[in-house]
Amino acid sequence: MGVIRDSLSNLDDEKALAEVKKALDANTAPAKILEECQEAMVAIGDAFSAGTMFVSDLMMAGAIFEDISKLVLPKIKAAGTGKSGGKVVLGTVKNDIHNIGKDIVANMLTASGFEVIDVGVDVPAENFVKAVKDNNAKVVALSCLLVTCYDSIKDTVEALKKAGLRDKVKVIIGGGPVDQHVVEYAGTDAFGSDPQECIHFCEEAYAK
Ligand code: B12
């Protein structure tokens, strides 16, 4: 492998999609393919930070990854465990429109037996609160890729508190920049770096 990562990093959509199809035909694990794509996205992000790529390149990369996801995510869903978990409210926080990582987390949770209430991107705090109430969910999972959106996480936690729901739900955050400092700043319960950590967190929340 490596060829998927390289073709996506070079924004070569035709080659990237052809290589993904080839890998799936050869029964490569979907998670492995996504991992390689994520490496490419980090490289593209770094090139953007360094000024050698531009927003238009990020958009192109996002579009290619979405096409790749359409091929790969159904395989993840289909490989479901048959277990029945609980309900998880998932969304990208207000002022952040990145959806690719969130969608991967959604599919992996679904494949692990959880019912995901996906509230979308750029989600105001009150929408998370409403979804928790309407679905009686025990977990809220927030995706955040922008350092400028930490206050959106904090606002969501505050809104859950105001609604009297904070004791009833566990809140996990994830996405590139979040870490333990953000957990403490915003008052969440944990952070996770990948979908697997989100799954473990949800399993623990529902085991109690
Ligand atoms: C593609 C992309 C875009 C696309 C998004 C398309 C889409 N449909 O989502 C577009 C062009 C729209 C975009 C816009 C912008 N972007 Co952008 N973008 C990216 C890029 C290159 C890839 C993101 C991605 O999809 N990665 C692949 C997925 C699979 O990875 P992931 O999202 O990290 O998700 C994984 C984990 O983090 C985790 N995870 C994700 N969510 C959750 C949730 C939970 C609960 C858990 C446990 C785990 C978890 O699991 C996922 C799977 O493994 C990143 C670079 C990077 N290093 O991430 C920059 C990046 C995130 N963008 C950045 C910036 C600055 C912007 C803009 C402000 C640019 C601008 N000047 O307009 C705008 C902001 C728009 C907005 N208001 O949100 C910066 C953010 C810097 C920062 N840390 O604050 C980055 C890091 C690039 C960089 N190095 O500068 N972007």
Q: How far apart are CA 81 and CA 58, in angstroms?
A: 34
Residue 102 near ligand 1, beta carbon < 6 Å: yes
Percent with pLDDT over 90 in the chain: 88
For residue 58, the ligand 1 atom closest to its alpha carbon is: 11
Per residue in 97-125, pLDDT (tens digit) is 999 999 999 988 988 889 999 999 999 99
59-to-18, 64, 97 alpha-carbon distances in Å:
20, 9, 12
In the chain the beta strands, taken as DSSP E runs, fall at 87-93, 115-123, 139-143, 170-174, 190-192
In the predicted structure, residue 1 carries a pLDDT above the cut 60: no
Which residue carries 């949770």 as its tokens?
A: 109
Q: How far apart are CA 105 and CA 94, in angstroms?
A: 18
Residue 138 DSSP one-character state: S
Contact 99, 92 (CB under 8 A): yes
Residue 174 near ligand 1, beta carbon < 6 Å: yes
For residue 149, the ligand 1 atom closest to its alpha carbon is: 84
Q: How far apart are CA 22 and CA 38, in angstroms?
A: 18
Tokens standing for 41?
A: 């996205």
Residue 41 near ligand 1, beta carbon < 6 Å: yes
Length of the chain in terms of residues written: 208
Average pLDDT (73-80) is: 79
Q: How far apart are CA 15 and CA 48, in angstroms?
A: 22
In the predicted structure, residue 85 carries a pLDDT above the cut 90: no
